[in-house]
Amino acid sequence: MDTALFVGLAHKAALKRRMDVVAHNIANMSTTAFNKEKVVFRQHLVDAPGAAATSGGKISYVMDHGVLRNLDTGTMVPTNNPLDVFINGRGYLSVKGSDGETLYTRNGRMTVNSENYLTLLSGERVQDDSGQDIQFDDDDQDFSIADDGTISSNNGEKGKLGLATFTNEQSMKRRGTSLYESSEAPKEVEELTDVSVRSKAFESSNVNAIESMTEMIDVMRAYQNASKQSGGYEDMREDALKRLGRVQ
């Protein structure tokens, strides 16, 4: 297959990948604490066909290098729920996943389930600063959460939210729209001098609707142009072969 066609296919594949990520961002504009993402590409050089090893002839392809998460904090949205929290600073709540593993999230929308456990609205149990599930008594009410994460009710203190920070947040792997896992051990609680919480609020998605829609239009136009160029190249090649076939 011709080199130009290979390059064109690589370009269109990269644009399709970028479109998938932009569409995913737009779909999660209303998801609590969702971080928008962008694809990072890198250049991949190969020797040009027929080029001598010492001639330096190279062909440049674009390759998907990975996804970069935007770590800007979303807008604080006030609520009337005393169990909702907005995290100030680069902290994460520790929660128990469906398989019992510890996951991390900035989604601070919480409730008390039928078994009196503090959970996210999606069902994951919230853990305290010792890694245990937070459970209330049947007669607990009038909940409040202090800036340091201490949870209280009419019966006194009930525990403290497990907050964690990480040196390399980009290495965290997404396990849902706002849940993450990390192979890196979180910092100790006493080191969290720049992290606090504010109750009766939560963090919105940091996706900007206008920017994302504009990016989607740009990617769509770029893909259409790439398709036209590929079609034009195919037409020229077909015409050249016809002309070559008429040569006597």
In this predicted structure, what is the pLDDT of residue 188? Answer: 63
pLDDT value, residue 235: 58
**What are the helix (H) ranges across the chain?**
3-27, 209-246
Q: CA–CA distance from 102 to each of 126, 148, 150, 179, 213 (Å)?
A: 10, 21, 20, 10, 35
DSSP string, 72-94: ----EEE-S-TT-EEEESS-EEE
- On the CB side of 31, how many CA atoms lie within 13 Å of its CA? 17
Q: What is the percentage of the chain residues whose pLDDT exceeds 70?
A: 78
How far is Cα 1 from Cα 10, in angstroms, rounded to an integer? 13
CA distance 137 to 124: 19
> What pLDDT shows up at residue 65?
72
Arithmetic mean of pLDDT, 11-22: 87
* Better-predicted residue by pLDDT, 112 or 190: 112
Give the range among 17-26, 158-167, 205-214, 239-248 with minimum mean pLDDT: 239-248
Q: What is the pLDDT of residue 218?
A: 92
The C-alpha atoms of residue 151 and residue 126 are separated, in whole angstroms, by 12
Per-residue pLDDT tens digits for 225-239 = 877 766 556 656 665
| pLDDT confidence of residue 177 | 82
What tokens does 128 get? 């305290």
> Quick one: tokens of 115?
């078994």
**pLDDT confidence bin for 246, thresholds 50/70/90:** low
Given a contact cutoff of 8 angstroms between Cβ atoms, the answer to whether 19 and 223 are in contact is: yes
Chain mean pLDDT for the chain: 85
Q: How far apart are CA 234 and CA 230, in angstroms?
A: 6
pLDDT at 158 over 90: yes
3-state class (DSSP) for residue 173: strand
pLDDT at 147: 93
So what's the pLDDT on residue 11?
76
Distance CA 153, CA 201 (A): 18
The whole-number average pLDDT for the span 6-34 is: 87
Could you give phi then psi for residue 137, rounded to 5 degrees?
A: -85, 160
Q: How confident is the model at residue 173 (pLDDT cuts 50, 70, 90)?
A: very high
Residue 4: what pLDDT?
Answer: 65
- Residues 44-63 have pLDDT tens digits of 666 666 555 555 566 666 77
pTM: 0.80
Inform me whether the pLDDT recorded for 197 exceeds 70: yes
pLDDT greater at residue 50 or residue 187: 187
Question: Is residue 97 scored above 60 in pLDDT?
Answer: yes
In this predicted structure, the answer to whether residue 99 has a pLDDT above a threshold of 60 is: yes
Above 80 in pLDDT, residue 9? no
